[in-house]
Amino acid sequence: MNKSSVIRLLVVTLVMLSIVLVLQKQDETVNTGNLFVPEVSSNLDDIRNLVLRNGTDQLDILRTPTGDWVLEQAGNYLVDTGRLAEFLRAIAASKTIEEKTSKAEYYARLGVESVSSEGDSTEVALDWGGGDAVVLFGNTQGSYRYAREIDQPTSWLVDADINLSLDVSTWLNTELIDIDVSDVLDVTILHSDGESLNISRGDDAGYQLAELPDGRSLKYASILDSVVSLLSGLTFDQVRAHAVDTEQDTKLADTTTTIRLNDDTQFVFSRFVETDDEVSWFRLGLLPSDQPSTILSTPEIEAFQLAVVGWEFQFANFKTEQITQRLENLLAPQE
């Protein structure tokens, strides 16, 4: 073989070797940068059930025939749809970053083993009627997370930065009232022992007591404003279904608090105290004015009614204290 033939052979060999290496590299990366679960993305609008579970807890989020999203573990109370949409979009948009182990004995290192009481994985199951997807999410690496489709051996590092909390309260729509403080005309609090107080807006845009006892003053100038401010932007901490036709239904409320708006629309809070543990539960209602509300839109009124009718709510202690304020708590000590 002459020199030129050897050179040509070497060139051909190098070219072929380069091609093989490129093909191998392409094969290794063929699935990186792609959607992790593309079927979720293509069926995002049709998802009707979502189940999250780990070794100790489970949440079932369901889509009702009317299109509302509810949480089974909260008695089918309304879910925070913004939180839910963000969660689903994050899964649908997640892409593969790096292929990881396909060996089952190494799954636990990444937290993508099957759910068990000893494991760290969280299983997310999505159902859209015509199909489903079940994904095991594991440990995090920075803003990325290890994950594996339950019926696939290969695990991946994916760019799914999602909140996998199974705390019921993090999934509920806890907002009850969200109005401007300036829309509140007055607040009346009536206790079952006969004590009542009325907080109304004064001429200086602040709030004042309708009747301030002689020789007494407020504890501090803005104390009434803080009561109204809390009531105008109120969220709950716990919720339960209100059982109808119980002894509690005929029991007079321990405290009734009414928030009256400038257009005469009224929010009404009725507090019932359970005698066995002294826990306060509130029922809420809305009394419309004679004329259409100029503050609340019809959809807002309908959403409020949907959120409160048939339900009882529990608030953090500091909120309960404000909703059921006593006159003496608002006043400075007597000198």
Q: Are strands 175-178 and 233-235 parallel, antiparallel or unpaired?
A: antiparallel
For 64-93, the pLDDT digits (tens) are 999 999 999 999 999 999 999 999 999 999
Longest dimension (CA), the chain: 120
Is the model's pLDDT at 214 over the cut of 60?
A: yes
Per-residue tokens: 117: 């009481």
Cα 227 to Cα 187: distance, rounded to the nearest angstrom? 9
Q: Which residues neighbour 222 within 8 Å (Cβ) at sequence distance 6 or greater? A: 206
| Mean pLDDT (whole number) for 204-215 | 87
What is the overall mean pLDDT for the chain? 89
Cα 259 to Cα 177: distance, rounded to the nearest angstrom? 11
Neighbours of 301 (CB within 10 A): 16
What band does 48 get if pLDDT is binned at 50, 70 and 90?
very high
Nearest to 208 by CA among 227, 231, 194, 183: 227
- Cα dihedral 318, 324, 326, 331, rounded to 10, equals 50
| Mean pLDDT (whole number) for 153-169 | 95
Nearest to 162 by CA among 87, 112, 83: 87
3-state secondary structure 117-154: CCCCCEEEEEECCCCEEEEEEEEEECCEEEEEECCCCC
pLDDT of residue 247: 56
Nearest to 77 by CA among 234, 309, 268: 309
Per-residue tokens: 127: 């159902």
- Cα dihedral 16, 19, 21, 23, rounded to 10, equals -140
Cα 35 to Cα 18: distance, rounded to the nearest angstrom? 29
Helix (H, G, I), strand (E, B) or coil at 84: helix
Q: Which residues neighbour 329 within 8 Å (Cβ) at sequence distance 6 or greater? A: 219, 321
Structural domains in the chain, CATH included, are 38-170 (3.30.1490), 175-330 (no CATH)
Backbone dihedral angles phi then psi of residue 112, each to the nearest 5 degrees: -115, 20
Is the model's pLDDT at 21 over the cut of 50?
A: no
Cα 256 to Cα 291: distance, rounded to the nearest angstrom? 24
Instruction: Calculate what percentage of the chain has a pLDDT beyond 70.
Output: 88
Cα 183 to Cα 252: distance, rounded to the nearest angstrom? 29
pLDDT of residue 318: 96
Nearest to 189 by CA among 200, 202, 173: 200
For 98-128, the pLDDT digits (tens) are 999 999 999 999 999 999 988 899 999 999 9
For 262-277, the pLDDT digits (tens) are 999 999 999 999 877 7
**What is the distance, to the nearest Å, from the Cα of residue 96 to the centroid of all Cα atoms in its chain?**
27
For 277-289, the pLDDT digits (tens) are 789 999 999 999 8
Nearest to 62 by CA among 53, 71, 54: 71
**What is the distance, to the nearest Å, from the Cα of residue 163 to the centroid of all Cα atoms in its chain?**
11
